[in-house]
């Protein structure tokens, strides 16, 4: 029996007379047994455990925070076999299983994600951002005939996408700078991390949460530069990339025993070395430019701001898989802190430059 037949049976027996989209756990269990529905026992156990963790004893599409406790207390224990023992999986389902073990620290969560995952909608946000960044880079590379250290070209800073302190009134630049990059080396590093870490995170946590985290890192990056490095421009999506990577790495460390990704210690060290090297390269280009430049080079503070966003807001998001963020006190604390930072940064950009007499370079 497929889903449409099951829905028709529910309607015929008036199990949901008010058409609320919910049915009681006992009603659902009775329906399964009386009609001998061919449901996977694991999925059935998950549904019943979910319903029993719901305050009203109903089956819904979201888990409450007591779902794991319901499983742990033995109300409806899932089968103990891990996903690695699943036989006969196709290529895509094996990739979904790989993502589950890469991102989620709990076997219950991994099995839940594996069985309820749908390929539609696909993880379009990170793929679209990466594609847009590559297209913009190719366009400017062909136009300037320069593929490395593009920021040293006198025409580069004239782009309407770059954040420049002389164009602070053009608010879109606080976000659109993420489409511009110093050169092929920065674009390649960011694109690789966005696809290797951002896409799996989006598959598990959804487009809304991951896009929010990425854009929050990007916005925090440009605002932090406008406060701490007032003469410097900003290019590159490093603020968003470091928000994703820092959140994921922090989640792995805090759930070290539960994470089942292979070679996690070696990969953790390599990730930290690569991220630190990229920050070091940005510091070098900012203070010791290898070529003559017409003005200050892009700041490195966006990297650090993105990392802070990842450890705070990002970690809260990643630790709340299938749980409502609005029900968690920590989420509101993080939002309050981020909102306070935004208000401070706005007032700083409006008043501080004139009050401090900041010597900013003329806008291109």
Residues in contact with 291: Cβ distance below 8 Å, sequence separation at least 6, in sequence order: 149, 152
C-alpha angle 358-305-140 in degrees, rounded to nearest 5: 75
Q: Count the helix, strand and coil residues of the chain and give each as a percent rounded to the nearest 5.
A: 65, 0, 35
**Known catalytic residue at 277:** no
**Known catalytic residue at 303:** yes
Integer Cα distance of 196 and 191 in angstroms: 9
Torsional class of 220: left (φ above 0), alpha (ψ -120 to 50), beta (otherwise): alpha
Record the tokens describing residue 265, joined without a space.
Answer: 């210690």
| Catalytic entry in 164, 181, 205, 303 | 303
| Paired residues of 163 in beta bridges | 234
Beta strands, E only, 17-74: none
Per DSSP, the three-state class of 180 is: coil
Q: What is the largest CA-CA distance in the chain?
A: 80
Integer Cα distance of 304 and 290 in angstroms: 23
| Catalytic entry in 238, 246, 299, 312 | 238
Q: Provide the sign of the torsion angle of the four alpha carbons 116, 120, 123, 125, taken in this order.
A: negative
First and final C-alpha spacing in the chain? 66
**Residues forming the active site:** 238, 303
């Amino acid at each position: 029996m497929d889903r449409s037949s099951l829905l028709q049976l529910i309607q015929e027996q008036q199990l949901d007379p008010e058409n609320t989209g919910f049915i009681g756990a006992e009603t659902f269990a009775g329906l399964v047994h009386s009609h001998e529905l061919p449901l996977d026992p694991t999925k059935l156990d998950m549904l019943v455990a979910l319903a029993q963790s719901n305050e009203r004893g109903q089956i819904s599409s979201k888990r409450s925070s007591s779902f794991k406790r319901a499983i742990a207390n033995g109300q409806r224990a899932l089968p103990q076999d891990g996903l690695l023992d699943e036989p006969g999986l196709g290529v895509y389902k094996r990739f979904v299983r790989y993502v589950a073990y890469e991102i989620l620290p709990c076997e219950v969560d991994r099995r839940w994600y594996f069985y309820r995952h749908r390929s539609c909608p696909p993880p379009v946000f990170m793929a679209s951002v990466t594609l847009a960044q590559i297209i913009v880079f190719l366009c400017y590379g062909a136009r300037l005939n320069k593929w490395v250290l593009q920021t040293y070209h006198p025409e580069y800073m004239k782009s309407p996408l770059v954040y420049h302190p002389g164009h602070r009134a053009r608010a879109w630049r606080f976000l659109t700078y993420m489409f511009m990059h110093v050169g092929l080396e920065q674009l390649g590093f960011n694109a690789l991390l966005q696809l290797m870490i951002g896409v799996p995170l989006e598959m598990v946590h959804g487009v809304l949460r991951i896009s929010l985290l990425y854009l929050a890192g990007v916005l925090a990056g440009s605002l932090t530069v406008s406060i701490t490095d007032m003469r410097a421009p900003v290019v590159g999506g490093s603020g968003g990339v470091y928000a994703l990577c820092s959140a994921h790495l922090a989640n792995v460390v805090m759930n070290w025993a539960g994470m089942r990704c292979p070679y996690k210690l070696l990969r953790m060290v390599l990730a930290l070395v690569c991220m630190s090297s990229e920050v070091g390269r940005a510091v070098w280009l900012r203070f010791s430019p290898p070529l003559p430049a017409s003005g200050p080079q892009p700041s490195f503070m966006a990297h650090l701001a993105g990392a802070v966003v990842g450890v705070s807001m990002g970690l809260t998001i990643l630790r709340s898989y299938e749980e409502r963020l609005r029900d968690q006190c920590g989420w509101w604390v993080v939002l309050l802190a981020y909102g306070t930072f935004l208000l401070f940064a706005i007032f700083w950009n409006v008043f501080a430059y004139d009050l401090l007499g900041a010597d900013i370079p003329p806008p291109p």
